[in-house]
Amino acid sequence: MALAKRIIPCLDVDKGRVVKGVNFVGIRDAGDPVEIAKRYNDQGADEITFLDITASHEERETTVHMVEAIAEQVFIPLTVGGGIRELADIRKMLNAGADKVSINSAAVYNPEFVKAASDRFGAQCIVVAIDAKQVGDNHWEIFTHGGRKPTGINAVEWAVKMAEFGAGEILLTSMDRDGVKTGFDLGVTKAISDAVNIPVIASGGVGNLQHLVDGVKVAGADAVLAASIFHFGEYTVQEAKKFMADAGIEMRL
């Protein structure tokens, strides 16, 4: 027996509501974050990640209430990402009941922020999200603004630096693969997983269950994150875990 690999469903939220087509059969209101989180929890999700896409700072308060409501009722780890720019944002989310926050652009603009966050709250709750795009042979670069803005930063070197700065985990999204359903970018996932000593979550591109297996077995990811394959009931989390376990991966079943 050993530490299990994790499956993490990811949900987009706007003003405290789940958006972008989560469409379970038999759910009363497809936008209710508590109901959706409970559903994934019942299916055996190992964690749940929320990506807050709320545009305005003021309206983000509703996301805080959402996290509070979920944390009171869903007893697996919760991560909140999106719009985390200051220590106060982190404190607010952790106080609301999030276990981890995911820092993306703010880390690129100000790497010291990751250091300060990790010092203050502990590495265990600081996830650094990296959006990478392939720009050459075995060469991946960090992009911001949803993959539109290149930064010139080498993704693997960046991951190493973020680990040194106190990140407890890396959430790696391949921008080339996001939404394409052709599987994770195994190259960059393996390069980063080999380069750092902290857990790496693979994200972007999952279209079937074999992709999840490849992320772990080929690329060495510690966890796999997926959205659409779960949201539309194509596969349940339980089916995905069973498939991975049958492929010889240690899972919590």
Catalytic pick from 131, 176, 185, 222?
131
Does 6 help bind another protein (rule: CB under 8 A)? yes
> How many residues interact with another protein (rule CB under 8 A)?
37
Site map (CB under 8 A) of another protein, residues 165-194, x = contact? ---xx-------------------------
| Binding residues for another protein restricted to 10-69, rule: CB under 8 A | 41, 46, 68
Q: How many CB atoms lie within 10 A of CB 6?
A: 21
For 72-208, where are the alpha helices, taking DSSP H only? 87-96, 105-109, 112-121, 155-164, 186-195
Task: State how far the Cα of 204 lies from the Cα of 176, in Å rounded to an integer.
Answer: 8
CB of 121 to another protein, least distance (A): 6
Q: Does 1 bind another protein (CB under 8 A)?
A: yes
CA distance 126 to 112: 13
CB of residue 33 to another protein, shortest distance in Å: 15
Residue 123 contacts another protein per CB under 8 A: yes
Residue 2 sits in the site that holds another protein (CB under 8 A): yes
Per CB under 8 A, the segment of 56-64, 121-129, 147-155, 178-186 that binds another protein is 121-129
Of the candidates 24, 80, 44, the residue with the CA atom closest to the CA atom of residue 245:
44
